[in-house]
Amino acid sequence: MVNMWVHFVTWIVLIIVAAIAIFSSNQKVSVISMMIARLSYIVAIITGIGLFQYAYQSSPVLTIVKVIFAILLMGIIEMSFAKKKQRRLNRNFAIGVIILILLLGLFGIYLASGFPF
């Protein structure tokens, strides 16, 4: 159960720091937020591996889909960070990234049958 809470809190932190990194006009704040987001990836992957076996038992196909989407989402977040550094990030793409993070989080809560709530 602790693993699930750590995973959940990590995704909440990821949503917040990714939004700060993407929307902040302060370069230093953006860089620090990007580093925290990358650390969040590592924690989310480690805790996700621990949760995989439990979710896989109840819904194997959806669990594999969530893993694939989570990896793709991390790539999309990194693309937004790269676009921000190149000053080519548009607002629609940035808002889309945040919405995707929220949707994947909701998908994870669905897979966990509403836990940790």
**What's the burial of 15, exposed, middle or buried (CB within 10 Å: 0-12/13-18/19+)?**
middle
Confidence of residue 54 (pLDDT cuts 50, 70, 90): confident
Q: How many domains does the chain have?
A: 1
Within a domain: 67: yes
Q: What is the pLDDT of residues 100-117, one digit of tens each?
A: 999 998 998 888 887 765
pLDDT at 113: 81
Within a domain: 116: no
Q: What is the pLDDT of residues 14-23, one digit of tens each?
A: 999 999 999 9
Within a domain: 91: yes
Within a domain: 117: no
Within a domain: 42: yes
Within a domain: 9: yes
Give the domain range for residue 73.
2-111
Between vectors from CA 39 to CA 38 and to CA 44, what angle results, nearest 5°?
Answer: 95
Q: What is the pLDDT of residues 31-50, one digit of tens each?
A: 999 999 999 999 999 999 99
